[in-house]
Structure 1
Amino acid sequence: MRTMILMVIAIATALVSARAEDRPADFVNIVDVIPDVIVEARYAGYFNFVGRPIDGYEAPACLLTRLAAEALARVQAALKPYGFGLKVFDCYRPERAVAAFVRWAEDVDDIRMKPEFYPELDKDALFDKGYIAAKSGHSRGSTVDLTVVTLPAGVEVYMGTGYDFFSERSWPDDPQQPSEARGNRLMLTSLMQLHGFKPYPYEWWHFTLADEPHPDTYFDFPVK
């Protein structure tokens, strides 16, 4: 009898895990909503602050809740008449990826990407500064990291720093930025806010849909 109970528990646990791995019905691939958006999925490759593909990224794709994707489509539509478009770097982020970031942050000896992404900070300061956290809004599916590009070439406009550059220089309202960067950051922030997104005070590229559909749920299905 005990063996049978254990088997039932094991089967039930496996089914729950399998369901947890399924992509919810209201999540979409961004290119199905915005076909001409540029996707540079940094965490699916090697050019990121860790220096390798991150757990949970099985494809270089951008997944978002449909509400966030449709709001982002309106931003893209507002930019296009002026010869601009969007490039996304990261969208939905599985919880296992966040856990991988935490493990990386705790390994103080791995600093191979420091010159590119955090030259001004010691690695152990990334938690205190809010650049690495044990929970990420990205895992709720309505947060996106992005920039503006010129069309049709797809060249990124000047923002003063690159994506994932961990520094006060990446704060959206950093007063030390040249006027061109401040203007471009203001353009992006204003458009994102106009279409329902909230900015993040420490990263000019980071926005969350204000009325996100899963405000208390952190998902862990893989990006694929």
Structure 2
Amino acid sequence: MRAELATFAALALAVLPPLAHADGTPALSPATTAAQAGLVDIRQLAPDIAEDIKYAGSDNFVGAPVDGYLASKCLLLKPAAEALARVERDLRASHQRLKVFDCYRPARAVKHFVRWAGDLSDQRTKAAHYPRLDKSALLGDYIAPVSGHSRGATVDLTLMQCDAQDARCTPLDMGTDFDYFGTLANTDSPEATPAQHANRDVLKRAMEREGFRNYAMEWWHYTLAPEPTPNVIYDVPVQ
């Protein structure tokens, strides 16, 4: 009986989220697996949602696979995954679909970003991702030491328009690619064209209907509100 109680206590510690630190910074969950953290693969709920998980490969601002991404998967806490699946379902009535770039992000991946930002000699991705900024300006508004993605309810994505048979789907023009560091990526940027603003607005309205809120500096960035675990970050690998 004592062994069973000890096992139960250990599982409870792994599953129940800790409280935030006294200074308000999120606490790191002791979970070591996606199941313990309550993270689910979006494809369990939307089996054919389009994915291009950028940090699992080299097509990203770091220019290499990012720490913690062992598979090209979109993991989210279940309430966020369910809400995102509803967005995808609703859009299909208009022959539109989502394309997901990133979802839950392990804390170790954020540390990788910070290390990269501190290496000012590595300028390989400047032309594509921060052409108008000095790399030294990226830490802060663009790359923070703690990311909301690590709380499991934030997603980066875009919108695609499909043909009448839903056979071919093309990403809509949003004005920038994903992870463009600069003011043109701001959701309401005056630099974007009317058509680009219209496309961003369609995505924003679709996400807001299911409770997601946009981050004003990035047209692609949405967080479910209220967040299921606002005071907890996770560091389980995506696999």
What TM-score do the two structures reach when normalised by structure 1? 0.89
Structure 2 CA distance for partners of 1:114 and 1:149, relative to 1, 3 Å: same
Per mean C-alpha deviation after superposition, the further-off stretch among 23-32 and 93-102 is 23-32
Residue 82 of structure 1, CA deviation? 0.9
Residue 67 of structure 1, CA deviation? 0.4
Q: Aligned partner of 2:204: which letter?
A: T
Equivalent of residue 109 in structure 2, options 77, 85, 97:
97
The residue correspondences of 1:159-198 to structure 2 (distance < 5 A) are: 159-198=174-213
2 CA distance for matches of 1:121 and 1:146?
23
Give per-residue Cα distances to partners, 1:35-84, cap 9 Å, x unaligned: 12111010000000000000000001100011001111111122101110
Equivalent of residue 138 in structure 1, options 149, 154, 164:
149
2 CA distance for matches of 1:97 and 1:122?
22
The residue aligned with 2:33 is 22
What TM-score do the two structures reach when normalised by structure 2? 0.84
Tell me if the contact between 2:51 and 2:100 (Cα under 8 Å) persists in the aligned partners.
yes
Give per-residue Cα distances to partners, 1:107-158, cap 9 Å, x unaligned: 0100100001110100010124x11000000000000000001233232111
Equivalent residue of 1:21, what SS?
coil
Q: Aligned partner of 2:222: which letter?
A: F
Q: Aligned partner of 1:32: which letter?
A: Q
Equivalent of residue 126 in structure 1, options 138, 163, 187:
138
1 CA distance for matches of 2:191 and 2:111?
33
1 CA distance for matches of 2:213 and 2:32?
28
Residue 175 of structure 1, CA deviation? 1.7
Per mean C-alpha deviation after superposition, the further-off stretch among 38-47 and 190-199 is 190-199
Number of residues of Structure 1 aligned to a counterpart in Structure 2:
209
2 CA distance for matches of 1:211 and 1:179?
31
Equivalent of residue 46 in structure 1, options 58, 68, 74:
58
Q: Aligned partner of 1:140: which letter?
A: R
The residue aligned with 1:212 is 227
Identity %: 48
Give unpaired runs (5+ residues) of structure 1: 1-11
Per mean C-alpha deviation after superposition, the further-off stretch among 130-139 and 22-31 is 22-31
Per mean C-alpha deviation after superposition, the further-off stretch among 42-51 and 151-160 is 151-160
Alpha-carbon RMSD across the aligned residues, in angstroms, is 1.7
Equivalent of residue 69 in structure 2, options 57, 68, 74:
57
1 CA distance for matches of 2:169 and 2:107?
30
2 CA distance for matches of 1:147 and 1:57?
20
2 CA distance for matches of 1:25 and 1:120?
39
Q: Which has the larger helix fraction?
A: 1
The residue aligned with 1:31 is 43
1:149 maps onto 2:164 in alignment: no
Equivalent residue of 2:169, what SS?
coil
Give per-residue Cα distances to partners, 1:1-32, cap 9 Å, x unaligned: xxxxxxxxxxx9xx989x63222352110111
Give unpaired runs (5+ residues) of structure 2: 1-9, 15-27
